[in-house]
Amino acid sequence: MLIGVPKEIKNHEYRVGLTPSGVRELVANGHKVLVQTQAGLAIGFTDEQYIQAGASIASNAEEVFERAEMIVKVKEPQPVECRLLRPGQVLFTYLHLAPDPEQTKLLAESDAIAVAYETVTDERGGLPLLAPMSEVAGRMAIQAGAHALEKAQGGRGVLLGGVPGVAPAKVVVIGGGVVGLNAARMAMGAGADITILDKSLTRLKEIDMVFGGRIKTLMSNSANIDESIREADLVIGAVLIPGAAAPKLVTRAMLKTMKPGAVLVDVAIDQGGCFETSRPTTHQDPIYTVDGIVHYCVANMPGGVARTSTQALTNATLPYMLELANKGWRQALLDNAHLRNGLNICRGRVTHQAVAKDLGYAY
């Protein structure tokens, strides 16, 4: 199969759909890869590296969309890209269609086969192609929070790990899923004093086992949240209720009970945020202060470490790409129900139940 990798065109998107080592793997399996010139240059993947891995280089996106049988990307296609898709062509990327009727309509009109990373499932009920970005965001939340705690950023002027003779910072993580666990790992490495709250007792038991009791666990309820944030230097919001907006677990009134200069990092901002005072920010202007509490609410955190994120994404997507390329999309989706869950649009029809329901398409 000929697999095409266009350069991402969304504002400040430096990730790319495939690394040179991913290309090498596909080529070793008998496939051809066509990469748009400079697609990975911003994160240090040069055209020469792609050529050495076995790819050909296309001079523009039109050529990639014109020739490839499957298009591999990172972000949802922009309208100009949707119009380049051809009938029967496979598109494998993040789509996030439910809040995006325009993209859904354009993809349906393209007559292409659109498989979304975010709805591919695994045998444990997880979302294996979303998890790498949650790992990145969780780990980044601690470095973003540590920076925001510095005095020059409006923070309390507290070092996460303290020093000998001075107590470490108190980090509270609300939500102990992929983001929360990765945040806790980084905070532990920095020497902070950590508490994780989750409303799943099973999850809290797992966390207790994983960290061997070195992290405190608390049931997530309003009394425990109330009490923990009063003492906290850094609070990480990492909750997820699949398919729903994040619950507002910290209200504006509660900010007054916190220490001045404490920091809230709302990783759940892409689901509306779990603090009442959260609003989406960007890497260019990531923080703002409300009632003396510093907020960091960047909606696309992994984009800030685009090279690491690209490598993590290719690690996760490559096995599915290989299935689609080796067997052809029809057989690959027939054989693998988890990959089939990724099918959102197929030749003019919306084939994902939740997307169809949200946008009023027949299913």
- Could you list the residues that contact ligand NAD (CB under 6 A)? 133-134, 137, 174-180, 197-200, 203, 220, 238-241, 246-247, 249, 267-271, 299-302
Q: Is 363 helix (H, G, I), strand (E, B) or coil?
A: coil
Between CA 47 and CA 37 the distance in angstroms is: 6
Q: Tell me the chain's radius of gyration from C-alpha atoms.
A: 22
Q: How far is the CB of 273 from ligand NAD (least distance, A)?
A: 9
Nearer to ligand NAD by Cβ, of 220 and 314: the residue is 220
Side chain identity at residue 292, one-letter code: G
Q: How many C-beta atoms surround the C-beta of residue 175 within 10 A? A: 28
Q: In this chain, which residue has its C-beta nearest to ligand NAD?
A: 177
Q: Tell the smallest beta-carbon distance from residue 175 to ligand NAD (Å).
A: 3
Q: C-beta of 274: minimal distance to ligand NAD in Å?
A: 8
Question: Is the distance from CB of 183 to CB of 135 less than 8 angstroms?
Answer: no
- The C-alpha atoms of residue 206 and residue 181 are separated, in whole angstroms, by 10
CA proximity to 95, closest of 358, 363, 291: 358
Active-site residues: which are they? 96, 270
Please state, in angstroms and rounded to a whole number, the distance separating the CA atoms of residues 130 and 306.
15
Q: Which residue, 184 or 267, is less far from ligand NAD as judged by CB?
A: 267
Of 160 and 174, the one with the shorter C-beta distance to ligand NAD is 174
Closest distance between ligand NAD and the C-beta of residue 89, in Å? 28
Quick one: 171 or 197, whose CB is closer to ligand NAD?
197
What is the total residue count of the chain?
Answer: 363
How many Cβ atoms sit within 10 Å of the Cβ of residue 318?
18
